[in-house]
Amino acid sequence: MNISISENAEHWFKDEMEASPGDYVKFFARYGGSSPLHEGFSLGITKEIPDEIAVETVMDGVHFYIEERDIWFFDNHDLQVDTDPASEELAFSYSKNS
């Protein structure tokens, strides 16, 4: 499994979440909402020190990661994070990994 962060999304994290080198940004399964992968669950994000990293991508010193306990949510899919040009908010997409 991989996490891909676009340049636009990287700027969003720096501007909106004040992410800076050395920070950890976690993607996690959140009860409520829906996603293309699971009804009743959606993807959450927070800045938090990791407990047990399963997947990690580092961009410009910022660590983007998923904990071992949340890996089930991705159901063998890679996560792509970008921004929606219309809303300028984060947009998540998932692709089956090989």
Percent share of the chain, pLDDT over 70: 90
Asked whether the predicted pLDDT for residue 83 surpasses 80, the reply is: yes
Number of domains in the chain: 1
What domain range is 85 assigned to? 3-96
Greatest distance between any 2 Cα atoms in the chain: 35
Is pLDDT larger for residue 76 or for residue 12?
A: 12
Rounded CA-CA distance 60/96 in Å is: 26
pLDDT at residue number 74: 86
Write the CATH number for 45.
2.60.300
pTM reported for the whole predicted model: 0.90
- pLDDT tens for residues 17-36? 999 999 999 999 887 666 66
Q: Which residues pair with 91 in a beta bridge?
A: 82
> In the chain, at which residue ranges do the beta strands (DSSP E only) sit?
3-5, 24-34, 39-47, 53-59, 62-67, 77-83, 90-96
